[in-house]
Amino acid sequence: MKIIESIDEMREYSQQLKREGKIIGSVGTEGELHKGHMHLVDVAKENADVVVLDLLHTLDYFRCSAEKYKTQLKVYEQDYLEKDIELCKLNNVDVFFLPSMNDLFFDIPPLNISIPIIDRLSIARPNFPPVCMEFIIAYREMYNIILPDVAVVGQKDVYQNFAIKSLIKQLGFSIKVITAPTVRDSNGVALSSRNRFLSQDDYKNVISIYQTLHEVSRWSIYPSISKIKEHINERITGIVNWIDICCVETLEELDSIDRKSVIIINVGFGDMDFLYDAIIIEPR
């Protein structure tokens, strides 16, 4: 496995792969890897000759002071980097790309496209935005460096995936996006690097998220949107920050389940401010 930190080196290697006619697959992460990320790698390997797993600390970079970002990066390097590299080696990742955020965001042009969902969510949920423009700018830069033919994303991160697809479409990137199913523990809990912050009791309570969403997906008749949200709020043993019920294709918020829809939920447990999960439901 190649480990690349230099943006210039990654760009040159990508161009070399293109000259050789190789199909490049991209898997984007924020580090602290787990089996869910490796499932994305497996899907990418089925569809590409070379798989590049990149690691971006975009949210830490933009939401912290410069000193706090350096501290958090040092913690990652001390506690997680070696484990992430070993996991990638075990799962046959071809390239582990770890660029400096300072280098990635140095003197880059603005993103002159419109992604209305980011504007809507940033206004509606300034404390819990599931996706931000900085995140999308980072993906534009990564795609320009890695030059992927295929990008594999996880189904759980609905808003991020929608924004990535909008980016690719509006900029005319020739990238096929593949959405891989959410990987879950045997009890239904969606795998997430944030799960490590949960106490044993909190983790047991997290089970209520998938149990409730799965229960709703099996209803023979769907009541009003407000009744669905009320039912979810009552069943989940955590602090429900928000519930969205949207059209799968457009992520337009719905007044009724009259088309293929997705329920997106953000819940806090104990010291963990938010965990995301989602499930697709069909009109009856």
Task: Write out pLDDT tens, residues 45-78.
Answer: 999 999 999 998 876 666 667 778 888 888 889 9
96: β partners: 3, 53
Average pLDDT over residues 124-147: 87
Q: From start to end of the chain, where are the E strands?
A: 2-4, 24-29, 50-55, 95-97, 150-154, 176-180, 239-247, 261-269, 272-281
Average pLDDT over residues 16-27: 98
Q: What is the dihedral of CA 116, 157, 204, 223, to 10 degrees?
A: 60
Share above pLDDT 90 across residues of the chain, in percent, rounded to a whole number:
71
Check pLDDT > 70 for residue 269.
Answer: yes
Average pLDDT over residues 139-155: 96
Task: Domain 2-180: give its CATH architecture.
Answer: 3-Layer(aba) Sandwich (3.40)
Distance CA 31, CA 220 (A): 40
Check pLDDT > 80 for residue 194.
Answer: yes
pLDDT at 63: 66
Check pLDDT > 90 for residue 213.
Answer: yes
pLDDT at 29: 93
Could you state, in order of their start, the residue ranges of all structural domains in the chain? Answer: 2-180, 193-278
pLDDT at 81: 95
CA angle 226, 243, 38 (to 5 degrees): 145
Average pLDDT over residues 136-163: 95
Residue showing tokens 């509006």:
170
- Asked if 243 and 229 touch (Cβ cutoff 8 Å), the reply is yes
Angstrom distances, CA of residue 231 to CA of 20, 216, 222, 227, 235? 55, 9, 11, 6, 6
pLDDT at 61: 67
Lowest mean pLDDT among 193-202, 205-214, 256-265: 193-202
pLDDT at 82: 96
Average pLDDT over residues 94-114: 89
Looking at every residue in the chain, the average pLDDT score rounds to 92
Check pLDDT > 90 for residue 197.
Answer: no
Distance CA 215, CA 279 (A): 10
Element containing residue 136 per DSSP (H, E): helix 133-146
pLDDT band for position 181 (cuts 50, 70, 90): very high
- Asked if 276 and 129 touch (Cβ cutoff 8 Å), the reply is no
Of 59 and 243, more confident: 243
Q: Which CATH superfamily is domain 193-278 in?
A: Pantoate-beta-alanine ligase, C-terminal domain (3.30.1300.10)
Average pLDDT over residues 103-125: 85
2-180 and 193-278, same CATH topology: no
pLDDT at 117: 85
pLDDT at 59: 63
108 Cα distance to chain centroid: 23
Share above pLDDT 70 across residues of the chain, in percent, rounded to a whole number:
98
